[in-house]
Each structure stands twice: as structure tokens, then as C-alpha cells.
Amino acid sequence: MTDQLEDDYQTAYDIGLDCLSSLDKSGVNPAHGLAALLTVVTHAAYVMAPDDKEAEGMIAFATDMARENWAAERLKNQ
């Protein structure tokens, strides 16, 4: 990643964590809230991307990163 891309990614990632914290404080069912957040973000990917292929690429990248983060977190907590 370029420095700018890395900075933007980390800033947006931190915003996502803040959003999850707000969701937790809201009192909504966590599964329902997370499904809604995923819907909003996925919808935004399709709206903001120049075409479906680019949107699906962003979604695949995000899914891969989430799996990598989850695997690293599991190893760290063993």
C-alpha cells in the first residue's frame, strides 16, 4: 500500500471501530446492528465504485482483510 492509502485505510478502520462502539452503546441487538452496518457499507461500495466489478473487488479485499485480522487476533489470544 502507498503511504496515503495506508493512512486513509487506518483512519477509516478507526472510524469503523468507533461506529461499532456506538452500536454497542445503542443497546440494539448486536447481530441485527452488525447486519445493518454491513448493508450500509456494502451498499456504499456499489454506489461509490465505477462499476459492479470494482465494488465486488473492494468487498472481496475487505473480506480478505477481515479474515486476516481475525486469524491474527485468534493466534494472539491463544
| pLDDT digits 0-9 by tens, 7-23 | 999 999 999 999 999 99
Which residue range is the domain that position 10 belongs to?
3-76
Cα gap 75→25, rounded to integer Å: 28
Identify the residue with better confidence: 54 or 2: 54
Instruction: Please state, in angstroms and rounded to a whole number, the distance separating the CA atoms of residues 20 and 14.
Output: 10
Task: Calculate what percentage of the chain has a pLDDT beyond 90.
Answer: 95
Angstrom distance (rounded) from CA 24 to CA 28:
7
> What is the pLDDT, as a whole number, of residue 18?
97
**Tally of domains within the chain:** 1
pLDDT over threshold 80, residue 1 = no
pLDDT bin (cut points 50, 70, 90) of residue 2 is confident
Is 49 in contact with 55 (CB distance < 8 Å)? yes
pTM of the model: 0.83
